Structure 1
């Protein structure tokens, strides 16, 4: 299914592209905004984006958003990623928004979805030291007591928790023989007593965190959806989560490819641009084709989501996540290889593209997990 943008969508893309160029178009700007890439999320810049109404592009109009669909959200994610706009909190905020929109109370929707439109960051906490790909193995526990839930345990690899207004916590409220039962979603405010957030240092800067819960008490009304229903609630959001990551990675892949293309056209060896040598030209041709395939796949899935919002697309969503993140990784690694020493130097963005793209095949479900899901849809 080909993607034909409306005039409004074309204007939107142009506006986002112009904003990215103006605010973060130079390496110097990006260095300053990110403290030399130590902080991939700039709070002041994110507020500018919110003031333009863009953090609410996919939030329902009832909560102040624009009411856009999956295609609109993907267009925005692709452009801010391509433009290297350091607002890393946006993607995980959109992933976190889904359960509130689908299962939250009216009060929770007003607080969280309205807050996202205003510029708040949200985070979701699933992974634990012994529960990564196997989410059903989680042990962080919440016990209902006198109108509250009392939470104890640890979460790890929690993106942007240090900026989040709330942690959407997936925890265990009941021990059952079936590990995917007895899991519950709770809304934990950032100032909850007994919650501690510790940064995990990575080569991508300060993005992920350990989150510790020691007798953290939240009111029972902070329950999201049904007690014990978290697994099905998570499954209901997989289309969106994987599309968000795929659209983000599409922008990253395009940027790595375009930076590489510009370099091989300018860099000369043996009296000619290195891109004119067949050994590189054919690899560029293959890579460009792969990036275009990714674009078509992302927007095909996005249009299917918009056409059938309640239908799960496990095969298509996993294919998008798998293909685009792996292509983004390939684009960055090919870029570093073809640029030689300059691809490794911090003077150029390519080394940053490598650091940014490698992890995309891990978070949100590893490439191996995506292949397992796809294989199962074929009855394997």
Structure 2
């Protein structure tokens, strides 16, 4: 069973208290998110950063807490369970981990110090013809004297419209092997030659198309080694999938708590609807699935902490798969149990469902996660 230290337990309670105080009412959340149109409130995120939480996994030498994956998952789980509108934290932590591993000393210092203070980051991989087949990139960076010139389009880029910088993966060499010749580049916000256009979605303002037109960056913008971008991406998969899993665990828990409160109070046929066997059994099944998810997520987080250089493709993919599928099931069932009220924007159920459904697509679709897991068994 999952067990936390006294410090970790106190940390979780502090986050829960913060979320209740700062975003505990619908009115507070609407004020922070333009009535729900934004998934991320930078104002609230900076407040969390001032408490030291944005830099939870940033090494102490850069001003962070230097904590591990377990603490990171506690932060993400509690923030999502607390309904804090800080959707940009996931891409930020994913991107920060890449800078920590591969950036040179000066860039690492600049970027990670900003993360500690509340800067949001973005990572750009997908293209119109490169989604699940992420190595099939065509956005190109060509070498010129003193730097690089970037041309092409990226898509589905979270955080780009408010990020301090974007970590771009572009093709620097065309070879017979599509996984070769990829390179990471640091693109600060406002770089000439970069145009950002939002994509309208069910979830609000979250993702963007990026258009690079003769966008010039210096040699110092290269993050890691030229041509080694694919290996660098693979090195971050544990972190990425744990982040997504922990966030959706929190969403599932929030949905469960809201649904339980509703079916306890809502009466039909002269009694609370939660007392009907159909409801009791459904909630029992959902509670069991959420508990299984919690155990898996924190087991993988602890394994990653105990073996920081070890790739965990099977375990990390399982955590992402289980958490997002559980969250999707929980939020869809919540709408059914709440009836028309679950569909009304007066309640959070419909918003939670929209976010849970897309979680099975981003960060590697769940079909891809299943494929990865199957391959680890030699299939």
Fold shared by both chains (TM-score > 0.5): yes
**Offset of 1:44 from its aligned partner?**
1.4
Tell me if 1:204 matches 2:203.
yes
Aligned residue runs from structure 1 range 130-145, under 5 A: 130-145=129-144
1:187 aligns with 2:186: yes
Report if the CA contact (8 A) 2:91-2:123 is conserved.
yes
Is the CA contact 2:325–2:360 (under 8 Å) kept in the aligned structure 1?
yes
CA displacement at 1:3 relative to structure 2: 2.6
- Does residue 19 in structure 1 map to residue 18 in structure 2? yes
Distance 2:41 2:274 in 1: 36
Distance 1:244 1:43 in 2: 19
For 2:313 and 2:147, the matched residues in 1 are separated by 35
Question: Which residues in structure 2 correspond to 1:222-371 (within 5 Å)?
Answer: 222-371=221-370
Q: Tell me, in whole angstroms, the C-alpha distance in 2 between the residues paired with 1:43 and 1:225.
A: 29
Moved over 3 A (4+): none
Alpha carbons 2:139, 2:153 under 8 Å: kept: yes
Residues 1:162 and 2:161 aligned together: yes
User: Who is 1:58 aligned against?
Assistant: 57
Aligned partners of 2:348, 2:191: CA distance in 1, in Å? 39
Q: Give the structure 2 partner of residue 84 of structure 1.
A: 83
Aligned counterparts of 1:114 and 1:107: Cα–Cα separation in 2: 11
- Tell me the distance in 1 between the aligned counterparts of 2:156 and 2:141: 20
What's the offset of the Cα at 1:88?
A: 1.4
Equivalent residues in 2 for 1:100-115, closer than 5 Å: 100-115=99-114
Q: Deviations over 1:43-76 (max 9, x none)?
A: 2111111111110011000100000000000000
Query: Structure 1: how far apart are the matches of 2:73 and 2:357?
Result: 20
Q: Structure 1: how far apart are the matches of 2:310 and 2:348?
A: 39
SS, match of residue 247 in structure 2: helix
Give me the whole-angstrom Cα distance separating, in 2, the residues matched to 1:224 and 1:42.
Answer: 28
SS of the residue 2:367 aligns to: helix
Q: Is 2:371 aligned against 1:372?
A: yes
Q: CA deviation at 1:144?
A: 0.8
Gaps of 5+ in 1: none
Q: How far did 1:250 drift?
A: 0.3
Report the more deviating stretch, 64-73 or 41-50.
41-50
Query: Secondary structure at the residue paired with 2:320?
Result: helix
Q: Secondary structure at the match of 1:84?
A: coil
| In 1, Cα distance between equivalents of 2:162 and 2:31 | 19
- Between Structure 1 and Structure 2, how many residues are aligned? 379
Q: Compute the displacement of 1:134 (Å).
A: 0.3
1:292-338: CA deviations, max 9, x gaps? 00000000000000000000000000000001001000000000011
Structure 2 Cα separation of the partners of residues 349 and 122 of structure 1 = 27
Aligned to 1:40: 39
SS at match of 2:150: strand
Q: CA deviation at 1:4?
A: 2.0
Q: Which runs of 5+ in 2 are unaligned?
A: none
Please, what TM-score do these two structures have when normalized by structure 2? 0.99
- For residues 265 and 245 of structure 2, the distance between their equivalents in structure 1, rounded to whole angstroms, comes to 30
Distance of 1:144 and 1:210 partners within structure 2: 24
8 Å CA contact 2:32–2:43 kept in 1: the answer is no
Q: Per-residue deviation at 1:99?
A: 1.3
Give the distance between the partners of 1:87 and 1:349, measured in 2 at CA.
15
Per the normalisation by structure 1, the TM-score is: 0.99
CA-to-partner distance for each residue in 1:235-275, whole Å, 9 max, x for gaps?
00000000000000000000011111111111111111111
Distance 2:340 2:43 in 1: 35
Q: Distance in 1 between matches of 2:278 and 2:164?
A: 50
